[in-house]
Structure 1
Amino acid sequence: MVLTINVAVLLAVVIVLRLRRRTQARSRNDEQLTVAIVLVFGVLIAPTGFGQWIAEVVEELARGISESGGGGR
């Protein structure tokens, strides 16, 4: 039996665990490490089907917000 771990799933678990900690307990370096982990997670998930779906949803939201804001001109 071969056990494989998807790195994106592992990073998602790490992100959730890090974000559950109290904000006051975080140092500046700790926050920078969390940002770096989230960026790597984004790069890993972007080419997947789920990442493409997220990009489409964000694009639709941005389009809807820009159309609602500029519609009165």
Structure 2
Amino acid sequence: MLTINAAVLLVVVVVLRLRRRTEARSRFDEKMTVVIVLALGVLLAPTPVGQAILSFLGQVASGVTQASR
């Protein structure tokens, strides 16, 4: 039996959509890409991977803030 994780499927869709040329995109196409990326973020946020990304970005932001002082 084959199971497909929704987050993995959305990652594939996002990568395929972002590989297309910018000039070929309509406003609707750009809005759909944003909606898909937001859905991916909602799916990843509660997972250990999402928490690790959040922790890493927090450390980067903290480092940038301290470096600018």
Do they fold alike, i.e. is TM over 0.5? yes
Q: How many residues align?
A: 69
Percent identity between the aligned chains?
58
Q: CA RMSD in A?
A: 0.6
- Following the alignment from structure 1 to structure 2, what is the Cα–Cα distance between the partners of residues 35 and 16? 12
Other-structure match for 1:69? 68
Equivalent residue letter for 1:34: T
1:14 aligns with 2:13: yes
- Following the alignment from structure 2 to structure 1, what is the Cα–Cα distance between the partners of residues 24 and 60? 33
Shift of 1:3: 1.7
1:43 aligns with 2:42: yes
Other-structure match for 2:31? 32
Equivalent residue letter for 2:13: V
The TM-score with structure 1 as length reference comes to 0.91
Larger Rg: 1
Q: Unpaired runs of 5+ in structure 1?
A: none
Equivalent residue letter for 1:35: V
- Following the alignment from structure 2 to structure 1, what is the Cα–Cα distance between the partners of residues 28 and 68? 38
Equivalent residue letter for 1:10: L
Other-structure match for 1:56? 55
Q: Unpaired runs of 5+ in structure 2?
A: none
- Following the alignment from structure 1 to structure 2, what is the Cα–Cα distance between the partners of residues 63 and 36? 28
